[in-house]
Amino acid sequence: AHEDNTGSLKEQLAKVFELSLKVTVPDEPEVVPLIAPCSKKETGDYQCNNAMSLWSKIKGKGTEFRGPQPVGQAIMRNLPASDMIESCSVAGPGFINVKLSTKWIAKSIQKMLTDGIDTWAPKLLVKRAIVDFSSPNIAKEMHVGHLRSTIIGDTLARMLEYSKVDVLRRNHVGDWGTQFGMLIEYLFEKFPDGEVNDQDIGELEVFYKASKQRFDDDAEFKERAQQAVVSLQGGEEKYRKAWAQICEISRKGFEKVYQRLGVHLEEKGESFYNPYIPETLDLLKQKGLIEESEGAQVIFIEGKKIPLIVVKRDGGFNYASTDLAALWYRLNKEKADWIIYVTDVGQREHFEMFFTAAKRAGWIPTDENKYPKTSHVGFGLVLGDDGKRFRTRSTEVVKLVDLLDEAKTRCKAALVERGKAAEWTPEELEQTAEAVGYGAVKYADLKNNRLTNYTFNFDQMLNDKGNTAVYLLYAHARICSIIRKSGKDIEELKREGQIKLEKDEERKLGLHLLQFPEVVEEACTNLLPNVLCEYLYDLSEKFTSFYSECQVVGSAEEISRLLLCEATAVVMRKCFHILGITPVYKI
Ligand code: ARG
């Protein structure tokens, strides 16, 4: 049979089974192959689970089969000849267990080494996705919640980008709202001539607090602040200019964090969507979604006690009206088919409500398996060692830049302690400390299921044993050093050498490597970066078992094993890349 050897292992296997299903049950053309990894590894590598459901479908239709087991037998018998499969067996009520051909596994890895890991990118149904992440608020400190959003959002974007999705990375900054009235008025008070620069304002957060104080204490100031909002929203130049100045100072602060983390984002803040709100609300009115309630305009959502307010009693727009306009823009102007929002779980309700409104308006299908679709990626709190919301010594929120500094400083100290200051150039020391330190902060966040709260602990995340970035980065560097020290030219080996998976540990490692595409696919589909972290940790463990069982340098299988080392390093690096972690090559 002609084999289309592209797509994940699972997909390729599905294609083979599809051919058999067509022959076995020609009257059921809708049936799609159900392929899953075997739960018991002794029975096989993968299994096909179609027989049981197929049987219940056809038993009433005068089929020649006498139960699910014979259906399974027939599916197995009708499988076309395939390089992929070594053997099959039917178990229980009709599970078809497949043992993959070891030769085929070896050949597939070899092919990846020559063609590049990008040929392993999973194929997704989405063409263009928007990841709305980070999204801090102007004039307020970017807090650890925003750090989580930044780290998780960046990884989701990277996963989709690797899978050849066109990704628009959107920073939906809070740059529009009533808080600007008091900020602007306070700015006018402090700098009557309107000439300010960052140094003058100093810490924006302090500036914010001082203006809030004025707002709370002085009724006359409050009055002016409220008037300032109207002037700003009316587009008065003096106010627009002050607003732009405040935004610019904040932006520079945010940018520092993004630069450290190597995260790229494109800002389209709340203000950007403001002009689209009236027409968006008109569309929703035409559909009869908007009602008047206690002086406000609202959308009632089934099952929710409180409606979604889209125009406040004072006639102003809010967070929800902005999000509706942004969604309209993203669907119609940017033509995105998947829009992903990354915020703390506390905002779940808000997203549920406006997603429901969009469904009722017919903007997105109710069936969540259809596109275009929206997803809220919620995450839990960051906790301190005391189990409470993470804060620094003082009661202030943690400064993100300080956090990253500390991670780096600690890594550097550990490297110096291991004598690296004498061995490496100062740049090497600096770069490694940064890669490991920032990588550790990211990995500690990503490895948890994002919905759970996680405890921020430097000692844990910087441990060089266990499931940490430090351990994984070192594992990768060690593999690179095995290859380097062999003195062999790996490019030449790729062209001329051949992978053979003879020992059990070699086969296990090989099979795990080949599962990379389906793991990325799963992580993308469910928007769960921790799935990829688990895979990576598992990979390093499988490598360790292989390396302790199989001598590499100086053995008869040296070439094959060096290639297996190289393939492991390549896949690890792609994992690091997707997780936003910079690999290191020396330890
Ligand atoms: N600025 C918001 C916050 O800090 C997050 C915005 C998330 N994105 C959105 N489209 N609502 O909580």
Q: Digits of tens for pLDDT over the chain (587 positions)? A: 445 567 899 999 999 999 999 999 999 999 999 999 998 888 899 999 999 999 999 998 888 899 999 999 999 999 999 999 999 999 999 999 999 999 999 999 999 999 999 999 999 999 999 999 999 998 877 788 899 999 999 999 999 999 999 999 999 999 998 889 999 999 999 888 767 766 666 677 788 889 999 999 999 999 999 999 989 988 899 999 999 999 998 898 899 899 999 999 999 999 999 999 999 999 999 999 999 999 999 999 999 999 999 999 988 899 999 999 999 999 999 999 999 999 999 999 999 999 999 999 999 999 999 999 999 999 999 888 888 888 655 444 457 888 899 999 999 999 999 999 999 999 999 999 999 999 999 999 999 999 999 899 999 999 999 999 999 999 999 999 999 999 999 999 999 999 999 999 999 999 999 999 999 999 999 999 999 999 999 999 999 999 999 999 999 999 999 999 999 999 999 999 999 999 999 88
> Which residue from 384, 363, 201, 345 is spatially nearest to 286, judged by alpha carbons?
363
Are 181 and 232 in contact by the 8 Å Cβ rule? The answer is yes
Crossing angle between the packed helical segments 529-549 and 504-514, to the nearest 10 degrees = 160
Cis amide bond preceding 372, omega within 30: yes
User: Looking at ligand 1, which residue's alpha carbon is closest to its atom 9?
Assistant: 172
CA of residue 180 to ligand 1 center, whole Å: 17
Cα 135 to ligand 1 centre (Å): 5
pLDDT of residue 6: 75
Where does CATH 1.10.730.10 sit in the chain?
447-579
pLDDT of residue 201: 63
| pLDDT for 397 | 47
User: Cα–Cα distance between 514 and 108 in angstroms, integer?
Assistant: 8
Which atom of ligand 1 is closest in space to residue 173's alpha carbon? 1
Using DSSP, state whether 167 is helix, strand or coil: strand
Which segments of the chain belong to CATH 3.30.1360.70? 9-100
Asked if residue 323 has its Cβ within 6 Å of ligand 1, the reply is yes
DSSP string, 387-448: SSBP--SSSSPPPHHHHHHHHHHHHHHHHHHTTHHHHS-HHHHHHHHHHHHHHHHHHHHHTS
- As a whole number of angstroms, the distance between CA 444 and CA 38 comes to 30
| Structure confidence at residue 199 (pLDDT) | 66
Task: Name the residue of 148, 343, 345, 352 to mutate for ligand 1: max ligand atoms within 8 A of Cβ.
Answer: 343
Amino acid at 247: C
C-alpha neighbours within 13 Å on the C-beta side of residue 434: 13
- Distance from residue 270's CA to the centre of ligand 1 (Å): 9
Q: For ligand 1, what atom is nearest to the CA of residue 319?
A: 11
Q: Is the beta carbon of 132 within 6 A of some atom in ligand 1?
A: yes
**Cis omega (within 30 of 0) for bond into 93:** no
CA nearest ligand 1 atom 11, residue? 323
Superfamily of domain 447-579: Isoleucyl-tRNA Synthetase; Domain 1 (1.10.730.10)
Q: Please state the length of the chain.
A: 587
* Distance of CA 31 from the midpoint of ligand 1 (Å): 42
Is the beta carbon of 517 within 6 A of some atom in ligand 1? Answer: no
Q: Where are the alpha helices (DSSP H) in 262-318?
A: 270-273, 277-286
Q: What is the best residue among 132, 347, 377 to mutate for testing ligand 1's pocket, by most ligand atoms within 8 Å of CB?
A: 347
Considering only the top CATH level, what class is 134-173+269-382?
Answer: alpha beta
**136 alpha carbon – ligand 1 mean position (Å):** 7
Q: What is the pLDDT of residue 140?
A: 77
Separation between Cα atoms, residue 159 and residue 544, nearest integer Å? 26
Indicate if ligand 1 lies below 6 Å from the C-beta of 145.
Answer: no
Ligand 1 atom closest to 347 (CA): 12
Task: Compute the distance between CA of residue 422 and CA of residue 176 in angstroms, rounded to an integer.
Answer: 52
Domain 9-100 is in which class?
A: alpha beta
Location of structure tokens 């008869």: 556
**Distance between CA 345 and CA 324 in Å, rounded?**
19
> Which residue CA neighbors atom 4 of ligand 1 most closely?
136
Please give the sequence-ordered ranges of beta strands (E in DSSP) within 149-288, or none if there are none. Answer: 166-171, 266-267
Ligand 1 contact, 341 CB (< 6 A): yes
- Residue identified by tokens 């290191």 is 584
As to burial, measured by CB atoms within 10 angstroms (0-12 exposed, 13-18 middle, 19+ buried), residue 465 is: exposed
Query: How many Å is the Cα radius of gyration of the chain?
Result: 28
Determine contact, residues 281/290, Cβ cutoff 8 Å: yes
- Residue 394 has a pLDDT of 46
The total of other beta-carbon atoms located within 10 Å of residue 575's CB is 23
Per-residue buried b or exposed e for 227-265, using 16+ beta carbons within 10 Å of the residue's own CB: ebbebbbeeeeebbebbebbbebbbebbeebbebbebeb
- With a 6 Å cutoff on the Cβ, whether 245 touches ligand 1 is no
Q: Atom 8, ligand 1: which residue's CA is nearest?
A: 172
In angstroms, what is the span from residue 478 Cα to ligand 1's centroid?
41
Q: pLDDT at position 1, please?
A: 42
Ligand 1 centroid, distance to 539 Cα (angstroms): 36
**DSSP assignment letter at 276:** G
For ligand 1, the distance from its centroid to the CA atom of residue 587, given in whole angstroms, is 40
- CB of 135 within 8 A of CB of 173? yes
Distances (CA, A) of 337 to 158, 387, 423: 17, 39, 51
Closest among 14, 6, 10 to 115, alpha carbons compared:
6
DSSP letters, 318-367, are: -HHHHHHHHHHHHHHTS--SEEEEEEEGGGHHHHHHHHHHHHHTTSS-SS
Q: Which of 143, 172, 257, 355 to mutate to test the pocket of ligand 1 (most atoms within 8 A of CB)?
A: 172
Residue 172 near ligand 1, beta carbon < 6 Å: yes
The dihedral region occupied by 449, where left means phi > 0, alpha psi between -120 and 50, and beta the remainder, is beta
DSSP letter at 467?
A: S
CA of residue 59 to ligand 1 center, whole Å: 53
pLDDT at 48: 97
Give helix 516-526 / helix 558-579 axis angle, nearest 10°.
10
Counting from 1 in the atom list of ligand 1, the atom nearest the Cα of 344 is: 12
Cα-flanking dihedrals φ and ψ of residue 64, to 5°?
A: -80, -15
Give the separation between CA 396 and CA 203, rounded to whole angstroms. 13
434 lines ligand 1 (CB under 6 A): no
Sheet holding 338-344, edge to edge: 266-267, 166-171, 128-132, 338-344, 373-379
Interacting residues of 286 by C-beta distance below 8 A, sequence separation 6+: none
Cβ of 135 closer than 6 Å to ligand 1, yes or no, is yes
ipTM over 0.90: yes
The residues, any chain, with a CB within 8 Å of residue 344's CB and separated by 6 or more, are 145, 148, 149, 378, 379, 380, 381
Q: What are the tokens at 443?
A: 């990995």
Query: Residue 105 and residue 85: Cα distance in Å, rounded?
Result: 10
Domain with CATH 3.40.50.620 in the chain: 134-173+269-382
Mark out the alpha helices in 25-163 (DSSP H runs): 50-58, 68-77, 102-115, 144-162
Cα of 146 vs centre of ligand 1, distance in Å, is: 9
